[in-house]
A = this chain, B = another copy of it.
Amino acid sequence: MASIKEIAKLAAVSAGTASFVLNGKGDQMRISKSTQERVLAAAKELGYLPNISAKRLRSKGDKVIPVIAILWTIDTRTALISRFLQGVHERFRNSEQEFEVLIEPYESSKLHQLQSLITGTRFNGAIIANASDEDLAYLENHKISVPVVLYQRKSKTYSTVSVDSYEAGSKVADLFQSRGHKRVGMIVPQISSQAVQLRQEGFVHTCASLGLELLQQCKVTGSFSEEGGYESAKQLLGRKELPSAIFVLSDQMATGALTALHEAGVRVPEDIEIVGHDNNENTKFTIPSLTTVHLPVEEMADACISTIIELIEDQQKSPIATSFKTNFVFRKSCGSFQ
């Protein structure tokens, strides 16, 4: 709040002198000890916080590089950020293009609280992850000034990077049918995510059209975590009629589900087959190893960066939609032949 001028005034020196002292160049500039102390004391008293925008603007050496904000929801999905950042880091290391990364946490469905999206005073472009329906509605109705890329969200007005989540769900239904299953189940995370929603619809609709029985009681929802998967699976196991295959829409939940099945003495894949979604690193080492849908998070993160930089550089108006493919990783929990 307090500017260097106020410090200078309180210390009865000029702004220039105050600047030297505050930056530790007091001795170098041969400012007297007493003056230095006065300045420091004044700074402390007024709670001086250097304005880095001003510093940066002034300092000559500092190159202007694009500032990219990653807008991520503050909820259980924070766990997913590390794979995304891995992709960003990879990009960072391999690209000669420099950029700065800012993490902007936001509460799901409260994207409108982020003033900086409107003012454009904090970043040159934003990658928005986990936007809910409300968030999207806000974006579509408020002509944002800053370039934006939506991660795992469809939109006609904004650039997007995503996979076909409907198809991903659909392919799991196909797989279940081809493996001769008649009655299947599903475990769904309770989060407001379009990707999860579409994944679910793809699975449900395709099950229906293929004649796979997906009983209401075999659709279970739980929190987006290992714990949630564990609880959901236990709940499912309490049903009268058990499915012979379950699609768990998140690997984290699948990890918990496997444990619940193991504890209940249900053998995977002999009694029930399990398919997860994401291909998180640990799924290769669950017991049994988990068959899952690979989500190319790292590549998508890279694409998000590419897209946002492109948008920033050629203030290109027409949105770019980048779509990635998902694919099965067959392991022991379903369909592996090793």
Interface positions of A from 61 to 93, Cβ below 8 Å from B? 61-62, 64, 66-67, 74, 78-82, 85-86, 88-89, 92-93
> Does A134 sit at the interface, judged by CB under 8 A?
no
> Does A216 sit at the interface, judged by CB under 8 A?
no
A100 touches B122 (CB 8 A): yes
Q: Please give the number of chain A residues whose Cβ is less than 8 angstroms from any Cβ of chain B in the complex.
A: 74
Interface positions of A from 1 to 50, Cβ below 8 Å from B? 1, 23-24, 40, 43-44, 47-50
- With A40-B316, A57-B54, A82-B82 already in contact, the answer to whether A105 and B100 are too (CB < 8 A) is no
- With A40-B315, A52-B67, A143-B24 already in contact, the answer to whether A89 and B102 are too (CB < 8 A) is no
Nearest B-chain residue to A120, judged by Cβ:
B55
Instruction: Please list the residues of chain A having a beta carbon within 8 angstroms of any beta carbon in chain B.
Output: 1, 23-24, 40, 43-44, 47-57, 59, 61-62, 64, 66-67, 74, 78-82, 85-86, 88-89, 92-93, 100-105, 107, 115, 119-124, 143, 145, 225-227, 229-230, 252, 255-256, 258-259, 262, 281-282, 284-287, 289, 312-316
B102 touches A100 (CB 8 A): yes
B105 touches A103 (CB 8 A): no
- With A120-B50, A258-B287, A315-B40 already in contact, the answer to whether A89 and B105 are too (CB < 8 A) is yes
**In the complex, what's the smallest C-beta–C-beta distance from A124 to chain B, in angstroms?**
6
- Give Cα A145–Cα B21 distance, bound, in whole angstroms: 12
Specify which chain B residues have a CB less than 8 angstroms from the CB of A85 in the assembled complex.
78, 81, 103
Most chain B CB neighbours (cut-off 10 Å) among A78, A115, A285:
A285
B24 touches A145 (CB 8 A): yes
- Give Cα A67–Cα B69 distance, bound, in whole angstroms: 14
A–B complex contacts, Cβ < 8 Å, 24 sampled: A23-B145, A24-B145, A48-B315, A49-B124, A49-B312, A52-B53, A52-B121, A52-B123, A55-B120, A55-B121, A61-B115, A61-B119, A62-B119, A74-B93, A78-B89, A89-B105, A93-B107, A100-B102, A102-B103, A226-B282, A227-B281, A259-B289, A286-B286, A287-B287
